[in-house]
Amino acid sequence: MTTTLLTNIGELTTNVEQDGDPCGTLHDAAVLIEGDRIAWVGAGADAAAANASHDRESASGGRGLGNRPTSRPPGALSREMEVVDAGGRAVIPGFVDSHTHLVFGGDRADEFEARMTGTPYAAGGIRRTVAATRAATDDELRARLGGFVAELHRQGTTTFEIKTGYGLTVADEERLARLAAEVTREVTFLGAHVVPAEYAERRHVYIDLVCDEMLRACAPHSRWIDVFCERGAFTAEEARRILAAGVAHGLEPRVHGNQLGPGEGVRLAVAMGAASVDHCTYLDDEDVTALAGSNTVATLLPGVEFSTRQPYPDARHLIDAGVTVALASDCNPGSSFTSSMPLMIALAVREMGMTPSEAVWAATAGGARALRRDDVGALAPGMRADLVLLDAPTRVHLAYRPGVPLVHSAWIGGAPS
């Protein structure tokens, strides 16, 4: 088991609420990592004293920190412990991106260019990616996926979800779920992305396929089931049936909802006990009330509004109403081809009424809640050692310096990435 002591942290975001601060901010702090877990979090002065004692007692054959008070880092430190000086930089939990579509073929840059000259976004463009994905080999998709995962890690994302939805045949959806499962446990079956062209006049037949053979093929590789409950995709009645079929196969529900206009997606997600409803661009008071009284997270995807020129969601209204909000990238080739969680934070602060601290919380702890994970999104003893060292003195710089690569380094499961 490797042991790392990260010291001289100028500002530590723990996301363990204290004294009314949801970010649980500590200054002049330290973190002890043992194996793939956080072993201790606390004051840098305690870590320095404990480390000095460790050095003295190791030199004399003693057990180091084994006899130190519990207010200090617990346990005996290894002689092979690595001490990393953060140089006064800020440390935050690794980003948790709870909504991506990373397994696909092709490119839709021409659609983006057209939107920038006034062409509105429509869900029909998904079918272009479906055709390109079906034509790609497993090795081609795997190589591209590996590139995206490396890109996520470079930008501080340590936990991420991946959806299927660009195959829309039994064989293609199964292989997308299988490839996604090679790189994350958070795989979402999204056979109900759109109705493929070959079923345009037989949508009921396609829904039967999704609920039966396709679901049975994808469920062994998946944790979640999702549906695009939207005009141009699936009605609330169709979505309810598809989600219920997934639940019967042991999958947990998520929903794409209220992206292109007002609709029933949010209330359906709450009624079905979904972990998250994603987009939430067009909400009425009834939607907000339903979310506030539920355990369903509102996952906001500001990269979509940036890329499609739709209105941004009103995060301020949601937070003030008591709704749990997450931020995610929705990285996909059509409506948000970015994997940058720092960009999501900057957009949320500039365009959606969030404070920098709220946005960082939503991109870490909020994402963990959207995935119903209690082992990531915060820095506390027993949590996975997923953390990011910023080339900045505070987390505010993630919004203050948009577009600047501020991730100095990251640890994923206790290992430098």
The single-letter DSSP state of residue 21 is B
Please check if 357 is assigned to a binding site.
Answer: no
Please check if 322 is assigned to a binding site.
Answer: no
CA distance 363 to 366: 6
CA distance 27 to 46: 13
Please check if 193 is assigned to a binding site.
Answer: yes
CA distance 355 to 316: 9
Please check if 259 is assigned to a binding site.
Answer: yes
Tell me phi and psi for residue 53, to 5 degrees: -60, -40
CA distance 24 to 93: 11
Please check if 310 is assigned to a binding site.
Answer: no
Other C-beta atoms closer than 10 Å to the C-beta of 149 total 18
Please check if 335 is assigned to a binding site.
Answer: yes
Other C-beta atoms closer than 10 Å to the C-beta of 171 total 11
Beta strands, E only, 79-180: 82-85, 90-93, 95-97, 157-163
CA distance 374 to 204: 38
Q: To which residue do tokens 């309810």 refer? A: 240
CA distance 287 to 392: 38
SS3 191: strand
CA distance 121 to 231: 12
Please check if 334 is assigned to a binding site.
Answer: yes
Q: Is the dihedral of CA 365, 366, 369, 370 positive or negative?
A: negative
To the nearest 10 degrees (0 to 180), the angle between helices 170-181 and 126-135 is 80
Please check if 204 is assigned to a binding site.
Answer: no
CA distance 248 to 272: 12
Contact between 98 and 161 (Cβ < 8 Å)? yes
| β-pair type (37-43, 26-34) | antiparallel
- Count Cα neighbours of 231 within 13 Å in the Cβ-side half-sphere: 8
Give the bridge partners for 407, in sequence order.
Answer: 390
Please check if 369 is assigned to a binding site.
Answer: no
Please check if 101 is assigned to a binding site.
Answer: yes
| β-pair type (224-229, 255-257) | parallel
Please check if 153 is assigned to a binding site.
Answer: no
Question: 183 Cβ partners below 8 Å, 6+ apart?
Answer: 145, 146, 149, 162
Q: Can you say which residues are annotated as belonging to the binding site for Fe(3+)?
A: 99, 101, 256, 330
Q: Can you say which residues are annotated as belonging to the binding site for Zn(2+)?
A: 99, 101, 256, 330
Q: Can you say which residues are annotated as belonging to the binding site for 4-imidazolone-5-propanoate?
A: 108, 166, 193, 259, 335
Q: Can you say which residues are annotated as belonging to the binding site for N-formimidoyl-L-glutamate?
A: 166, 332, 334
Q: Can you say which residues are annotated as belonging to the binding site?
A: 99, 101, 108, 166, 193, 256, 259, 330, 332, 334-335
